[in-house]
Amino acid sequence: MSQGHTITIEQSTQRVRAVRDGQVLADSSKALVLHETGCPARYYIPAEDVRLDLLAPSDTHTFCPFKGTASYWSLPDAPDLVWGYPDPNADVARIKDHLCFYEVELV
């Protein structure tokens, strides 16, 4: 990490759900919480706890110098709703095979 920029990852102690228009897209008690300087806490949910059958891969990719290249998934009415790092940088390797939603509920 660059000086002044930190990322920490810990196991969430809460159940995390992602819901859109009443449809549960993810539900997990195994999420990771990623804390990054200057960003809100983000919950990374194991892919096995995400309804991937409801999501379509997007053509969008973004690059973070600290985490790597992100891939995105969409719903028909919600482009790029979900993202993940298929091949994350070594410092954040724990988020591999996890997906993140912009909004989640803590249960």
Best CA proximity match to 18, nearest among 107, 85, 92: 107
Give the tens place of pLDDT for each residue, 22-57: 999 999 999 999 999 999 999 999 999 999 999 999
Q: What percent of the chain has a predicted confidence (pLDDT) above 70?
A: 97
Question: In the predicted model, is pLDDT for residue 2 greater than 70?
Answer: no
Reply yes or no on whether the pLDDT at 1 is more than 70.
Answer: no
Task: Give mean pLDDT, residues 78-99.
Answer: 97
Nearest in space to 23 (alpha carbons), one of 60, 59, 76, 70: 76
Domains of the chain, by residue range, sit at 7-106
Q: Which CATH architecture has domain 7-106?
A: Beta Complex (2.170)
pTM score: 0.94
* Whether the Cβ atoms of residue 89 and residue 99 lie closer than 8 Å to each other: no
User: Rounded to an integer, what is the distance from CA 8 to the centroid of its chain?
Assistant: 14
